[in-house]
Amino acid sequence: MPGGHIDALSRRAAALHRAATGDGNGSPVTTPRLPAREDAERELSRPEYHEHDPNFFQRALDWLWDRIGDLLSAAAGAAPGGWIGLAVLALVLVLLLVALRLRLGTLRAQPATGAAPLFADRLRSAADHRAAAESHAAADHWGAAVQERMRALVRSLEERALLDPRPGRTADEAAAEAGTALPDHADQLRVAARTFDEVTYAGHPADQAAYALLRDLDLALLRAIPALPTALPSPAPSPRGGTT
């Protein structure tokens, strides 16, 4: 039986070990210690003694867990309250990470603000963009509603000839150009463009208040009267020469 064979091998190895070390029940050592130790090492190196040894991966994993356990034990010894204190510190760290994640929102690389054109699809009227914005707002899709309302605002200015229709115009460029024609609304136009950029390019969430800001500005611009260009001063009349 395999078990009997292993037991026999174990008894033989134990006998060799006692012969190598001189251990036993007081029996004299009849083999010199160095040759006996070499015999014992050769015997114990035989494959049948190592059939159930853990493989390399298991040994590496055991070593890693031992090191982690040592580190945790050292940290528990240094932390106030031992293991309980260490658990509390770990919980506080997790809560801080969650709060930071919620505070910063989606972590992603932010492309240059306003780098893409405002209108990326087929030409649509201001009324079409307003209808799309209201539809998104009714479904609480505030990000899409903000985008469509900004497009409606700019398209409306183009339809009124306050902006020249120009492919590839960005929201920032449209706000800067419209602010020249409508200086009373220049600050609101910059805020609207920044809101559009944050939603479209930086992935910031929009809400009802952000949409209401663009909707109100769009409606206000429909009634806004553009500023007249500054008239050039009339040339002063030249003095008449001579006397009458």
Half-sphere exposure of residue 226: CA atoms within 13 angstroms, side-chain side = 14
Determine the pLDDT at residue 11: 61
Residue 108's pLDDT is what? 45
pLDDT at 94: 83
Q: What is the pLDDT of residues 144-198, one digit of tens each?
A: 999 999 999 999 999 999 999 888 889 999 999 999 999 999 999 999 999 999 9
Give the model's pLDDT for residue 61. 80
Is 1's pLDDT higher than 50? no
Distances (CA, A) of 62 to 70, 71, 75: 12, 14, 20
Provide the pLDDT for residue 149: 96
CB 19 within 8 A of CB 35: no
Helix extents (H) in the chain? 2-21, 33-44, 56-78, 82-104, 126-138, 142-159, 171-181, 186-200, 208-223
138 pLDDT band, cuts 50/70/90, is very high
Rounded-to-integer distance, Cα 215 and Cα 228, Å: 25
Q: What is the DSSP string of 11-43?
A: HHHHHHHHHHHT-SSSPPP-S-HHHHHHHHHHH
- Residue 242: Cβ-neighbour burial (10 angstroms; 0-12, 13-18, 19+): exposed
CA dihedral 162, 168, 172, 174 (to 10 degrees): 0
29-38, 149-158, 194-203: the lowest-pLDDT one:
29-38
Q: What is the pLDDT of residue 47?
A: 66
pTM of the model as a whole? 0.49
Looking at residue 169, what is its pLDDT?
A: 87
- pLDDT at position 118, please? 74
pLDDT at 180: 93
pLDDT in tens, 61-114: 878 878 777 776 776 666 666 667 667 777 777 877 877 776 665 444 444 444
